[in-house]
Amino acid sequence: MQKILIVEDEGRIVRLIRDYLKKEGYDVLDARDGEEGLAVFQRQDPALIILDLMLPRLDGLEVAKQIRKDSDVPIIMLTAKTEEADRVTGLELGADDYMTKPFSLRELAARIKAIFRRTRGDVTKSEVISQGDLTVNTKTHQVKLTGEEVDLTPTEFDLLSVMASNPGRAFTRHNLLEEIGHFPGERVKRIIDTHIKNLRKKLSRPEGAEKYIETVHGVGYRFRDDLQ
Ligand code: CA
């Protein structure tokens, strides 16, 4: 059974999520503040974390930052409508997704399923994509740049492998959201822009940020097809 950790101080929300996810067959743990969240994370090694932004003792952004120091565990942030700036910061810190309160439990469960499907690699073909100095192994989920391993979050990895598998093809943000298993429509384009920005940063050495992923104005993004 996959373990999911909920870090949230509002008992009512914890209970709702816990009951729903238990029915879906997950093992559910919870913590009521940021410090407890980190402690439970370290002790229990959950497969996914649902992390509220506003938490006593240590806020959600700080918790995400600490977790990302040594773990790629998928993180879904819970935010209020008014916390847009924090949401972007959270994605920049490496959160994989976010849900704005109030949200549907059914949608939360669907996102969790999509993340697990991706991180298990069920939807990717087993192959090695080589472009320029970059190697993407969709089986082992390893990315290497001039022989050095690059650490990507699951979402960054999915975006990169989709684009690198189709060099030269322009993807709209909507395409990319679909490819990584999100629900387009109510989802903002910003989530893609933020993930691409993170990806470019990680792939920027040594030649510069736009070497691999180009911006296609008015459309979206494209993995370059003219690398030697
Ligand atoms: Ca809260």
Per residue in 68-90, pLDDT tens? 888 889 999 998 878 777 877 78
Kindly state the DSSP code that residue 64 receives in the 8-state scheme: H
Q: Which domains does the chain have, with CATH numbers?
A: 3-119 (3.40.50.2300), 128-223 (1.10.10.10)
Distance 11 CA to ligand 1 centre (A): 9
How remote is the CA of residue 179 from the centroid of ligand 1, in Å?
31
Q: What is the pLDDT of residue 122?
A: 45
Give the pLDDT band of residue 185 (cuts 50, 70, 90). Answer: low
Question: What is the model's pLDDT at position 51?
Answer: 97
* pLDDT beyond 50 at 100: yes
9 Cα to the center of ligand 1, angstroms: 5
How far does the centroid of ligand 1 lie from the alpha carbon of residue 98, in Å?
A: 14
Q: Is the pLDDT of residue 128 over 70?
A: yes
Average model confidence (pLDDT) across the chain = 85
Q: Confidence band (pLDDT; 50, 70, 90) for 209? A: low
- pTM assigned to the model: 0.63
> How do residues 12-61 score in pLDDT, each as one tens digit?
999 999 999 999 999 999 999 999 999 999 999 999 999 999 999 999 99
Q: How far is the CA of 6 from the centre of ligand 1 (A)?
A: 11
176 versus 143: the higher-pLDDT residue is: 143
Residue 83 CA: distances (Å) to CA of 15, 79, 90, 206: 23, 6, 10, 35
Q: How far is the CA of 146 from the centre of ligand 1 (A)?
A: 43
Interval between CA 52 and ligand 1 midpoint (Å): 6
Q: How confident is the model at residue 3 (pLDDT cuts 50, 70, 90)?
A: very high
* Mean local confidence (pLDDT), 149-163: 90
Answer whether 133's CB lies under 8 Å from 212's CB: no
Q: How crowded is residue 214: how many other Cβ atoms within 10 Å of its Cβ?
A: 16
**Cβ atoms 83, 53 nearer than 8 A:** yes
Question: How remote is the CA of residue 55 from the centroid of ligand 1, in Å?
Answer: 5
Rounded distance between C-alpha atoms, residue 166 and residue 151, angstroms: 21
Is residue 200 classed exposed, middle or buried when 0-12, 13-18 and 19+ CB atoms within 10 A define those classes? middle
The average pLDDT across 146-170 equals 86
Cα 216 to Cα 45: distance, rounded to the nearest angstrom: 40
Contact 34, 57 (CB under 8 A): yes
CA-to-CA distance for 174 and 161, rounded, in angstroms?
16
